Chains A and B, each alone.
Chain A
Amino acid sequence: MNPGLPELSPGSREEHLPIHGEPVPPYVVFISHAARDSWIAGVLAEKISALGAEPWLDVKDLEGGDVVVEKILKGLDACHEAVVLISPHSVESQWMVFEIGAVWGQHKRVTPILNNMSADAIVPLRGVKAVDLNSVGQFLTELGRRVRQRLATEE
């Protein structure tokens, strides 16, 4: 047994904790969306949570009094990948293009999820494989594989 760890009773260790060393930090997925797509973003966040990942969502992670861009930067620093909900509500959003640029700046994976929009709706994402909202199950399957791969690597 690692002498640096306190002794735990059987079953008290959470499933995703490795036997040795520190707990594995959660696999964080940053969700970028327009305010009017909050319900869809919330459902997506629930499905991401169910895979063992941690969604970063403004309504969950921003509190009154927060400096918005500072909090977003923390979310971006912490995330492993991002999804961008592209809809008729978000396509004109300055914040969305800003957040896409921010994810790109950190060289992280970004998946456009299209809700009644074409794949080339957002210029900076042209050339990036998009997923239609009706096929989001496929994205979740792939995300689940990445989460498990990371856990296996970290442990």
Chain B
Amino acid sequence: MAYHVFVSSMSNERDLAEDLAQRIRKAGAEVVVWSDTVLRGARGEWVDLALRRELRKADEVILILTERSLDSPDLLFELGAAFSLHKRVIPLLVGVGEVPSLIRQFPYVRYNDLHAYLSGLEHRAKLPVDGPPIAAAY
């Protein structure tokens, strides 16, 4: 079973998100890139369904945060949603100086440390997901 990573960013950081997605795929995980372009304004039912489905499917959730997007309601909303689903949540900080108290509650990663994070992800992606131990399968 594939290891799933959900990457969320603001639309104007979409290139960064796509670059990250490529690196995640190289690390052996499947990835969905989500951006706020579909979330502007009222939260439509179809968006709710799609977002909830993708978050539930994810093993890890990465939120790309820059100085411009630190206060994005969409990203903070998704942070809360992923957290409440007991997912591994990683704020990825790009060019962020002072880290807000909320973000400090999570194991955030600075962009300069991305390589170390991806090494850990590669290891996790190789581990069996959801399967019982081999001895217990008999």
A binding-site residues for B, Cβ under 8 Å: 67-69, 73, 76-77, 92, 94-95, 97-107, 122-124, 126-127
Contacts and interface: CB of A to CB of B under 8 A. Distances in A.
Interface string B76-98: 11111111111000000000000
Interface of B is mostly: helix
A103 B41 CA distance: 19
B43 A101 contact: no
A104 B100 contact: no
Given A101-B76, A103-B84, A106-B85, 12 more contacts: A73-B83, A97-B80, A100-B77, A101-B77, A102-B81, A102-B84, A104-B48, A105-B83, A107-B52, A122-B73, A123-B73, A123-B74
Contacts of B79: 98, 101
A94 B105 CA distance: 12
B78 A101 contact: yes
Contacts of B73: 97, 122-124
Contacts, number: 73
| B: interface residue count bin | 20 to 34
A24 B84 CA distance: 24
